[in-house]
Each structure stands twice: as C-alpha cells, then as structure tokens.
C-alpha cells in the first residue's frame, strides 16, 4: 500500500515535467492576485487567458511547422518584492517555464528581474516603468515606456496644459516605482521652471492611509499642481483628503492610476483629473478596439492598461517563440534562443503601439498617452506624446 502511494506521489510530481516535453509551451505569469493591487493581477490573468484561448482554439501556436498548445501558469506575488522573487524561482526552477511574463509593477519587477537574468530565462514585464528593471539584464524585457520618459511628459503637460509654475509631489518612499517617478518628475519640472519650483516633495510609507499632515504642508506651499504617482488603491484617499483640506487645483497622476478599479474606489473626486498612461480605452480604433470589445464581451468590463499591456507582452513573447524557428526540447538552449529572438524583435504591432528593441536594452520606444477622466468616469484620450 505504502509503495503504491509513493509511486503515485512520484508520478504526480513527475507528470508536469513530462507534460512540458510533449507538444506544449509553458509560460509563467508572476502577477499580484492578492495584496495591495489585486485588480492588476486579475486584469493580467484575464488578458492572458483570452489570448491563450484564442491561440489554443485555433489549434495552437505554430513553431517550425509544428503546432504547440499553450500552457499558462499563474503564480501570485501578493504585490510584495520578496514574494515576487519566490514566485520567479518557482516558475523558473519548479515549473520549468520557457519564459516569464511579469511581475507587473517595478517594485516587484526589479528584484524578480535579477532572478530571471541570473537563471538565463526571458522575463517580460508588461507594466514596469522604472529604468532599473532592465538595466544590465540581457534577459529582461518590457512592453511599456520608461519613467525617465514618463516624468518629462508629466512635467511638460503640467506646464503647458495645466499652466503650472509650481508643483508639489506626494509619493510612497518605500516603493521603487513611485519613488523613481517622483524623482524624475522633480528633476524635469525644475529643469523647466528653475530650482525650487517643486515647492513640496512629501513622502509617506506603504500602508499609510492618513496623509493629512503631509497634505497640510503641501497646501501651505500653495502649488499650482499636485503630482502623485501612486497606485489606484491610494489615489482615492489622497484626492479625497486633499479636497477636504481645501486644495482646489488639479491633481496629476501616472500610469499606475489607470486601473479599471480606480473609478469604483474614487468616485466623483477623481473626475476631471489627468494622468499619463499607455493607452486610452474610450474612443480607441482598429485592433485596439477589437481587443477592448472582445474583452468587454467576455469579462463584462473595459480592460485597463495592464490588461492591454499583458496582451501585448504575451503576444510579443509568442511572436519571438515563432521566430526561434524550432523548439529543441532542451530548456536552457531554448531559453537562450528565445532571448536572442526577443532582442532582435522589430516593429511588433501591439494594441498599445509599435514596439522594437534595439538589441542592446529590453526597452521599447513607445508613445505616452495623456488621459482625462471624464464626468462619466471614462478614461478619455486627451493627447499623445511621442519621444
């Protein structure tokens, strides 16, 4: 009896490894299904599932004349850096995936990128905008623009469209993404208006909900615009408290605002505000509209930028796999071949824009979109800024 159990256990553990060598391609997703930003994980998963169904429904992905079925593995990183590292190790060593998509935000993508690069596995972050994610890591790629592009775009928009001469920044000092972006914004805004034009540069730490002390300091400095590069779960609190303390000026956000859940949490307070992001759902055309309509029909909601970027990121990994020509079955060899195919990817036509890598870095050159939150709560296209 005992021997039978052991045999069953061994078979159970051996099975996944065996499944890979057959006609499947396994791709791992390192995404936050719980934690502070669960909507990001949900959107990523929904977009990936939709893509998988589309390709598997058509008989699989054709690589070198042979059809492969796709197998997507989702691991929750709880939106924590240490869990993202564990999830990366689990996917790379445990699940033996060919490539990893995610982690989405920079706070998790930077530490997980180290793991992926050391293990010579392609990591494709859809939504991480901090430059450190791909720096000196040949195996790490991304599908979005960078904060050293987003920062100037926000500063320029505040100056030209919002007519701001002074600005204030409120950000989470304990997280890589807001910290990096806040610093880029400050640098670029001061370049335009001279040193000291960022009149308040206030911080808080993750999990804080009471920002009134910082906001009181900010209000005292009388800024023309308040820039806050925080995630959608913190934005409602910041906006509401700023308004209650008597701040009447515009509040400018970054691509982390663009979640489908922002308006459900923020309500009327966020209407009329602007943020920098990757794409605008309202008024989209062509392939982007097709994606939005299909997504909306399937999941009954408008996909946000994370969903769209995950679709593109996964699509680009699959395109690179096709480009490899053939799958040898030797994981280490295939991973390296995939890396080379990714690095030479040119003009991938995604729904968030065209993407090319220059072969040296994993950063595509892409345009940013400024979105205005309308009175109906839709994210409407306001203007496009290209590098």
Closest to 41 measured CA to CA, from 92, 102, 82, 86: 102
Give the shortest CB-46-to-other proteins separation in angstroms. 13
Residue 39 or 366: which CB sits closer to other proteins?
39
Q: Which is nearer to other proteins, 98 or 242 (CB)?
A: 242
246 binds other proteins (CB under 8 A): yes
* Helix (H/G/I), strand (E/B), else coil: 36: coil
CB of 167 to other proteins, least distance (A): 18
Residues 234 and 344 sit within 8 Å (Cβ to Cβ): no
| Residues 6+ away with beta carbon under 8 Å from 340 | none
Residue 240 is a binding residue for other proteins (CB under 8 A): yes
36 touching other proteins, by CB under 8 A: yes
Here the tokens at position 277 are 């992001």
Residue 33 CB, nearest approach to other proteins (Å): 7
User: For other proteins, which residue of 120, 156, 217, 271 counts as binding (CB under 8 A)?
Assistant: 217
Query: Taking CB under 8 A as the rule, does residue 202 contact other proteins?
Result: yes
**Do 166 and 224 contact (CB within 8 A), yes or no?**
yes
Among 82, 210, 290, 349, binds other proteins (CB under 8 A): 210
Q: Output 7 or 173, the one with its CB closest to other proteins.
A: 173
Q: State the nearest-atom distance from the C-beta of 47 to other proteins, in Å.
A: 17
Q: Quick one: 207 or 285, whose CB is closer to other proteins? A: 207
Smallest separation (angstroms) from other proteins to the CB of 365: 34
Give the interface segment with other proteins, choosing from 118-126, 145-153, 262-270, 276-284 (CB under 8 A).
262-270
Q: From the list 19, 63, 73, 237, which residue makes contact with other proteins (rule: CB under 8 A)?
A: 237
Backbone angles phi, psi at 363, to 5 degrees: -105, 120
> 25, 71 in Cβ contact below 8 A?
yes
Contact call for residues 109 and 84 (beta carbons, < 8 A): yes
- Asked if 39 interacts with other proteins (CB under 8 A), we say yes
Site string for other proteins, 160-179 (x = CB under 8 A): -------------x------
The closest of 125, 246, 228, 87 to 167, measured between CA atoms, is: 228
Binding-site size for other proteins (CB under 8 A) equals: 35
DSSP secondary structure, 258-310, as one string: --TTHHHHHGGGGTT-EEEES---BT--HHHHHHHHHHHHHHSS---HHHHHH
**Minimum CB separation from other proteins for residue 203, in Å?**
5
Question: Please, which residues have CB within 8 angstroms of residue 244's CB and are 6 or more apart in sequence?
Answer: none
Give the residue with the Cβ less far from other proteins, 32 or 315: 32
The answer to the question of residue 212 lying near other proteins (CB under 8 A) is yes
φ, ψ at 358 (rounded to 5°):
-90, 5
User: Does residue 205 bind other proteins (CB under 8 A)?
Assistant: yes
* 385 is an interface residue for other proteins by CB under 8 A: no
Q: Which of 213, 294, 326, 380 binds other proteins (CB under 8 A)?
A: 213
Q: Does a cis peptide bond (omega within 30 degrees of 0) precede residue 38?
A: no
Q: Applying CB under 8 A, which of residues 86, 119, 161, 203 lies at the interface with other proteins?
A: 203
Q: Is 34 in the site for other proteins (CB under 8 A)?
A: yes
Joined together, the tokens standing for residue 232 give: 């959608």
Q: What does DSSP say about strands 66-76 and 24-31: parallel, antiparallel, or unpaired?
A: parallel
Backbone angles phi, psi at 132, to 5 degrees: -65, -20
CA distance 239 to 269: 7
Cα distance between residue 77 and residue 128, in whole Å: 15
Residue selected from 118, 216, 296, 344 as contacting other proteins according to rule CB under 8 A: 216
**Is 254 near other proteins (CB under 8 A)?**
no
When asked if residue 267 is in the footprint of other proteins (CB under 8 A), the reply is: yes
Closest CA relative to residue 206, chosen from 30, 76, 37, 86: 37
Q: Which two tokens stand for residue 239?
A: 């906006």
Q: In this chain, which of 236, 258, 307, 362 binds other proteins, going by CB under 8 A?
A: 236
Closer CB to other proteins, 25 or 37, in the complex: 37
Task: Identify the CA nearest to 200 among candidates 176, 166, 229, 238.
Answer: 166
Query: Which residues of the shown chain bind other proteins in the complex (CB under 8 A)?
Result: 33-36, 38-39, 41-42, 173, 202-205, 207, 209-210, 212-214, 216-217, 220, 233-234, 236-237, 240, 244-246, 261, 264-267
């Amino acid at each position: 009896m005992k021997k039978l159990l052991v045999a069953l256990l061994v078979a159970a553990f051996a099975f996944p490894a065996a499944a890979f060598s057959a006609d499947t391609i396994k791709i791992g997703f390192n995404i936050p299904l719980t934690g502070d930003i669960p909507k990001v994980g949900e959107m990523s998963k929904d977009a990936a599932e939709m893509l998988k169904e589309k390709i598997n429904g058509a008989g699989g992905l054709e690589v070198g004349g042979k059809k492969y079925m796709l197998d997507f593995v989702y691991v929750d990183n709880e939106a924590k850096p240490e869990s993202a590292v564990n999830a990366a190790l689990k996917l790379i060593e445990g699940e033996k995936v060919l490539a990893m998509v995610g982690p989405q935000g920079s706070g998790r993508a930077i530490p997980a990128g180290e793991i992926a690069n050391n293990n010579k596995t392609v990591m494709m972050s859809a939504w991480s905008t901090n430059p450190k994610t791909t720096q000196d890591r040949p195996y790490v790629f991304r599908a979005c623009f960078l904060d050293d592009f987003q920062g100037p775009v926000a500063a320029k928009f505040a100056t030209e469209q919002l007519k701001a001469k002074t600005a204030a920044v409120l950000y989470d000092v304990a997280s890589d993404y807001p910290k990096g972006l806040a610093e880029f914004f400050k640098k670029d805004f001061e370049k335009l208006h001279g040193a000291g034009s960022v009149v308040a540069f206030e911080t808080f730490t993750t999990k804080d909900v009471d920002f009134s002390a910082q906001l009181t300091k900010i209000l005292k400095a009388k800024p023309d615009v308040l820039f806050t590069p925080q995630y959608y779960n913190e934005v409602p609190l910041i906006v509401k408290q700023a308004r209650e303390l008597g701040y009447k000026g515009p509040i400018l956000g970054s691509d982390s605002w663009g979640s489908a859940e922002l308006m459900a949490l923020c309500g009327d307070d966020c209407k009329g505000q602007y943020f920098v992001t990757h794409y605008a759902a309202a008024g989209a055309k062509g392939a982007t509209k097709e994606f939005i309509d299909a997504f909306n029909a399937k999941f009954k909601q408008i996909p946000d930028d994370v969903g769209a970027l995950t679709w593109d990121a996964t699509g680009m990994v699959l395109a690179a796999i096709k480009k490899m020509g053939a799958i040898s079955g030797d994981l280490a060899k295939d991973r390296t071949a995939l890396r080379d195919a990714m690095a030479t990817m040119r003009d991938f036509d995604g729904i968030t824009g065209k993407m090319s890598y220059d072969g040296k870095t994993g950063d595509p050159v892409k345009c940013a979109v400024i979105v205005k939150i309308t009175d109906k709560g839709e994210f409407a296209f306001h203007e496009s800024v290209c590098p």
